[in-house]
Amino acid sequence: MANVIISIILIAIVAGIIFKMVKNKKQGKSSCGCSCGSCPMCGECHKN
């Protein structure tokens, strides 16, 4: 029974993280927390 409860909690946490990432992506927010000046893919993330 403990395995089922732990599995449900972990699935809820993962689903929440995915939901938050999709919501941020739709709002145009970036998922990276660093400066993009040194990133070779900076032109792909932040197209203006």
For the stretch 1-48, pLDDT in tens is: 999 999 999 999 999 999 998 888 788 776 666 566 667 776 676 565
The confidence score (pLDDT) of residue 1 equals 93
pTM (two decimals):
0.58
Residue located via tokens 């792909």: 44
Asked if 42 and 36 touch (Cβ cutoff 8 Å), the reply is: yes
Asked if 27 and 18 touch (Cβ cutoff 8 Å), the reply is: no
Q: Which amino acid is at 23?
A: K
Please tell me the distance from the alpha carbon of residue 42 to that of residue 35, in angstroms, as a whole number.
9
Pinpoint the alpha helices (H) of 2-47.
2-26, 42-45
